[in-house]
Amino acid sequence: MSPRAGRDPQRLLRWYPRGWRARHGQVLLGLLDEQVQDTGRELSWADAWSLRAHGAAQRFSPATGVLLALAGAAAAVAGLTVLAVSLADPAATVGAAEVVWTVLLTGVATSLASLAAVALVRDLIPITAPGAVLAAAAATAAWAAATAAALSWSVGFDQADADVPLSGFAAAFPALLVAGVGLGTVALTPVTAVLLRGISSTPGRWLLAVAGALLGSVVLGAAALAPGACLLAAVGVLVGCALRRSPHRRAPTTASRGPASRKATAEASQ
Amino acid sequence: MPKDMTEPAFWVLTALAETPRHGYAVLGRVEELTGGQSPLRVTTLYATLERLERDGRVRVVSEEVVAGRARRTYDITTDGREALSLEADRLVARASAAQASLDRGRPAPTRTTGWATA
């Protein structure tokens, strides 16, 4: 019986990184195959989505975090350079193009640093795979909304200065700001919920988790406005990811991974 | 309280504390232990085993091919036993506190008088 579209374990395994598939792919496929045979049912829709989420989350490793944080730091430096160059000439004023480039580069930098932070958080605390994927997606969307909000405010400021009516984009500033804070809250909630897992009351834990995430979202958004804050954050995450990917932590716990421990048993025929 | 003990990790360590098991046997044992209320999917199980192995709480003892399927058998380590023991103590303490509280708050049995029941 061939699996239904979207539920083929072999295809779903491609959501995992290549290196992970090489080390664990056959064992995971064996587990899934055993389950299908044992229960007589193909993978459920939920199983398929769980595989996608775990595969996508697996891509957020400290090694990937280093690359993302490096790219984030580079974008932050580029943003600061544009700002510094435009401010270097005391007679010149900062033009619209410089503002747009600085804001866009800062937005890219914060997004990349946040994705790197997800990789670090995944390594540090037992956040679920769907939680990590949600955090990554929502953080990216939050910074996109925050970037749009910053540009919207800038356009609105110029229009008010020129005494012209606000454009639709400029008028959208409050909505974009709320969207940014809301998405930031969504991104941080899976993390705060894990940090507060010692609280036994489930409603209390989630209430505090959302409140903490909301506060964190506002604080991070405000901090991103400070020149250099994004660069500092990217470097901090970079150092964290670099420390967490040190090879001594990944040493095999047993010599069993070697060929000597692999046994092709005769059970295949049983 | 060992904060890093999630429910899946607790059940995986509990299943492995008895004897080394391969992945699907862990899944089956947790299903039995939880009376069919297992919090584990295959993906969660694998992610949990991977994290526990990385943290030195379980180790791979063998890899083999059975009926054409790759199988990895895991065993609990000394660190894993210690962590599970701490978590079990914590759960026992919580259960005892709850039971004591219930006992203290138990309403007194209704007093019946000879007159009322006569």
| B62–A267 C-beta distance less than 8 A | no
> Is there a domain that residue A20 lies in?
yes
Mutation test of the interface with chain A: which of B43, B53, B71, B79, choosing the one with the most A Cβ atoms within 10 A?
Answer: B43
Residues A96, A124, single domain; the answer is yes
Q: How far apart are CA A76 and CA B5, in angstroms?
A: 37
- All structural domains of chain B, each given as residue ranges with its CATH number in brackets, are 7-93 (1.10.10.10)
- Tell me if chain A has a CB within 8 Å of the CB of B111: no
- Which pLDDT value is given to residue A258? 39
Residues A22, A128, single domain; the answer is no
> Is there a domain that residue A61 lies in?
no
Residues A15, A73, single domain; the answer is no
- Which pLDDT value is given to residue B32? 94
Residues A156, A258, single domain; the answer is no
- Which pLDDT value is given to residue A249? 52
Could you list the residue range(s) of the whole structural domain that residue A84 is in?
A: 66-244
- What are the tokens at A1? 């019986």
Q: What's the ipTM?
A: 0.79
> Is there a domain that residue A29 lies in?
yes
- Which pLDDT value is given to residue A263? 46
| A267–B67 C-beta distance less than 8 A | yes
Q: How far apart are CA A194 and CA A75, in angstroms?
A: 30
A69 with A112: CB under 8 angstroms? yes
| A253–B53 C-beta distance less than 8 A | yes
Question: What is the distance of C-alpha A162 from the center of its chain?
Answer: 40
> Is there a domain that residue A60 lies in?
no
Which of A38, A197, A261 is closest, CB to CB, to B3? A197
CA-based nearest distance B100→chain A, Å: 18
- Tell me if chain A has a CB within 8 Å of the CB of B3: yes
Set of chain B residues whose Cβ sits within 8 Å of the Cβ of A267: 66-67
Query: Given CA atoms A162, A166, A168, A169 in this order, what sign does their dihedral have?
Result: positive
Per-residue pLDDT of chain A (270 residues; tens, 9 = 90+): 566 767 888 999 999 999 999 999 999 999 999 999 888 888 899 999 999 999 999 999 999 999 999 999 999 999 999 888 887 776 666 667 888 899 999 999 999 999 999 999 999 998 999 999 999 999 999 999 999 999 999 899 888 888 888 899 999 999 999 999 999 999 999 999 999 988 878 899 999 999 999 999 999 999 998 888 999 999 999 999 999 886 545 444 444 443 334 444 434 333
* Cβ neighbours of B70 (radius 10 Å): 20
> Is there a domain that residue A41 lies in?
yes
- Tell me if chain A has a CB within 8 Å of the CB of B82: no
Q: How far apart are CA B71 and CA B69, in angstroms?
A: 6
E-state strands within chain A: 262-264
> Is there a domain that residue A249 lies in?
no
Residues A51, A185, single domain; the answer is no
| A263–B62 C-beta distance less than 8 A | yes
Which of A31, A50, A198 is closest, CB to CB, to B23? A31
Residues A141, A218, single domain; the answer is yes
When divided into structural domains, chain A yields a total of 2
Q: What is the 3-state secondary structure (H, E, C) of A21-49?
A: HHHHHHHHHHHHHHHHHHHCCCCCHHHHH
pLDDT in tens, A223-257: 998 888 999 999 999 999 999 886 545 444 444 44
pLDDT in tens, B32-91: 999 988 878 999 999 999 999 999 999 999 999 988 889 999 999 999 999 999 999 999
